[in-house]
Amino acid sequence: GEYAGLGEVSGKTVLVRSDLNVPLDGTTITDDGRIRASVPTIKALADAGARVVVTAHLGRPKGAPEPAYSLGPVAARLGELLGQEVAFATDTVGDSAKETVAALADGQVAVLENVRFNPGETSKDDAERGAFADQLVALTGPDGAFVSDGFGVVHRKQASVYDVAQRLPHAMGGLVAAEIDVLRRLTVKPERPYVVVLGGSKVSDKLGVIDNLLGKADKLLIGGGMVFTFLAAEGHEVGKSLLEEDQLDTCRDYLRRAREAGVELVLPSDIIVDTEFPSGDRTPAPGSVPSSEIPADSLGLDIGPESAASYARALSDARTVFWNGPMGVFEVDAFAAGTKAVAEALTRVSAAGGLTVVGGGDSAAAVRKLGFDEDAFGHISTGGGASLEYLEGKELPGITVLES
Ligand code: 3PG
């Protein structure tokens, strides 16, 4: 059988970089979206007769094994979803990896332990990263190949993403190709109105994307924790809400630039507040206040009902929507209504034939947690940082390297 640009892969050992970085509660996977999204490429290679060796990371261990970040549970779930046995190597390039790969027959699949258990994976030193990449490549034998399918990590210049592609015949996996295709549609002549909804806790994570979208989107709706730095920039008191003092000037600048460019930058007019951040042993006591009247002893935890309705209206005639970041602390029912309203509005845009893209680990997890059917959205991206960096117009090392 053949795979994409690689030609015949039957009998060959193919290294696949997937993004299997899923949220875990102990050893229980709480959202397996990224594993499910990785299945088609792995399955296509196995069906074509390749010996498939999957590399991936989990969390951010510091270059040494940490049991809490083992990919063991992920490998088990992958096996269930693939409907075939998946071998698991308890190290990444050591004896277990060598034995596991050597034992693979055509069409079989193995997962190597967390690549980030090795300091070479994320090293800034080209030689150190290269040496680790050499060890990964050595596992594949004389006619190995590489398939890059971990869209969530293509913005990382790391050994299993970047350096291995320089050392092996390579191809873009189906997931990466699909993600890039959708993101390109957002950047090249998006159908208008083009509305962007940005949430999440920090403005500082979204600076590049706001910068870039101020010239491209028709409306920018703001929610999540970053609302309060914008409200403070407009001169409002925000009580105990999340506030990034060092971004106040930046937010003022965005508000001014949006006015000048004729882009509607919309902040919520009301906020759901409570006197404390939700925690397990406390019953939430939510209240709704105008955004200009957040009490000193309270913090904002969701956009209010008036804002949720007005964001839904602002989205109602959209033809293209990109949404990154929840509107509130959606994990707690009392603070989930804003996120739910935005998700619902997106499903209506999709139903009317518009393009809707949900980007980012958190918003993707939110729509699944809130019980939405994934098919009700045009595309749910597996990449958080990667999709934002693409929209910022940044070069993605893991993509560029495939073009050489
Ligand atoms: C993600 O969760 O966005 C990706 O898996 C990348 O993880 P990283 O930010 O730790 O590189």
**Closest C-alpha to 329, from 224, 239, 240:** 224
Count of domains for the chain: 2
Tell whether ipTM is more than 0.90.
yes
pLDDT in tens, 284-300: 999 999 999 999 999 99
User: Rounded to an integer, what distance in angstroms lies between the CA atom of residue 287 and that of residue 132?
Assistant: 54
Q: Does residue 316 carry a pLDDT above 80?
A: yes
Is residue 401 domain-resident?
Answer: no
Pick from 99-103, 211-215, 256-260, 309-313: least confident: 211-215
Hey, which of 19, 114, 148, 389 would you mutate to test ligand 1's pocket, going by the most ligand atoms within 8 Å of its Cβ? Answer: 19
pLDDT in tens, 126-150: 999 999 999 999 999 999 999 999 9
Is residue 296 domain-resident?
Answer: yes
Is residue 182 domain-resident?
Answer: no
170 and 198 in a single domain? The answer is no
239 and 306 in a single domain? The answer is yes
Ligand 1 center to 14 CA (angstroms): 23
**Mean pLDDT across the stretch 323-331?**
95
Predicted TM-score (pTM) of the model is 0.91
Q: Give the per-residue pLDDT at 237.
A: 98
The chain-wide mean pLDDT, for the chain, equals 96
**Does 378 carry a binding-site annotation?**
no
Q: Judge whether 219 and 193 are in contact, CB under 8 Å.
A: yes
Domain end, chosen from 176, 208, 239, is at 176
**Does 175 carry a binding-site annotation?**
no
Q: Does residue 154 carry a pLDDT above 90?
A: yes
Q: Judge whether 197 and 315 are in contact, CB under 8 Å.
A: yes
Q: Which residues of 205-220 are buried (b: 16+ CB within 10 A; e: fewer)?
A: bbeebbebbbebbbbb
Ligand 1 center to 149 CA (angstroms): 14
Is 325 catalytic? The answer is no
Whichever domain contains 20, its CATH number is 3.40.50.1260
The order of strands in the sheet holding 194-198 is: 264-266, 219-222, 194-198, 320-324, 355-359, 379-380
144 and 290 in a single domain? The answer is no
What is the band of 5 on the pLDDT scale with cuts at 50, 70, 90? confident
What is the band of 277 on the pLDDT scale with cuts at 50, 70, 90? very high
75 and 171 in a single domain? The answer is yes
76 and 55 in a single domain? The answer is yes
212 and 344 in a single domain? The answer is yes
Q: Does residue 360 carry a pLDDT above 80?
A: no
Cβ 398 under 6 angstroms from ligand 1: no
198 and 334 in a single domain? The answer is yes
87 and 236 in a single domain? The answer is no
288 and 213 in a single domain? The answer is yes
Q: Give the per-residue pLDDT at 365.
A: 85
pLDDT in tens, 370-384: 999 999 999 999 998
Is residue 17 domain-resident?
Answer: yes
Q: Does residue 361 carry a pLDDT above 80?
A: no
Q: Judge whether 274 and 284 are in contact, CB under 8 Å.
A: yes
310 and 384 in a single domain? The answer is yes
Please tell me whether residue 104 adopts helix, strand or coil conformation: coil
Is 72 catalytic? The answer is no
Domain end, chosen from 176, 207, 235, is at 176
Domain of 278 in residue numbering reads as 189-391
Domain end, chosen from 131, 154, 176, is at 176
**Closest C-alpha to 152, from 26, 56, 242, 60:** 56
Cβ 206 under 6 angstroms from ligand 1: no
Is 287 catalytic? The answer is no
Whether cis (ω within 30° of 0) applies to the bond prior to 193 is yes
Is residue 201 domain-resident?
Answer: yes
**Mean pLDDT across the stretch 306-310?**
98
**Mean pLDDT across the stretch 188-215?**
92
Cβ 223 under 6 angstroms from ligand 1: no
Give, in order, the Cα–Cα distances in Å from 328 to each of 312, 339, 340, 342: 15, 6, 10, 11
User: Rounded to an integer, what distance in angstroms lies between the CA atom of residue 182 and that of residue 320?
Assistant: 11
357 and 236 in a single domain? The answer is yes
335 and 216 in a single domain? The answer is yes
User: Rounded to an integer, what distance in angstroms lies between the CA atom of residue 356 and that of residue 373?
Assistant: 14
Is residue 7 domain-resident?
Answer: yes
User: Rounded to an integer, what distance in angstroms lies between the CA atom of residue 93 and that of residue 99?
Assistant: 10
Ligand 1 center to 128 CA (angstroms): 21
Q: How many CA atoms lie within 13 A of 79 on its CB side?
A: 14
pLDDT in tens, 187-200: 999 999 999 999 98
Compare 203 and 15 and report the one with higher pLDDT.
Answer: 15
Whole-number percent of the chain with pLDDT over 70: 100
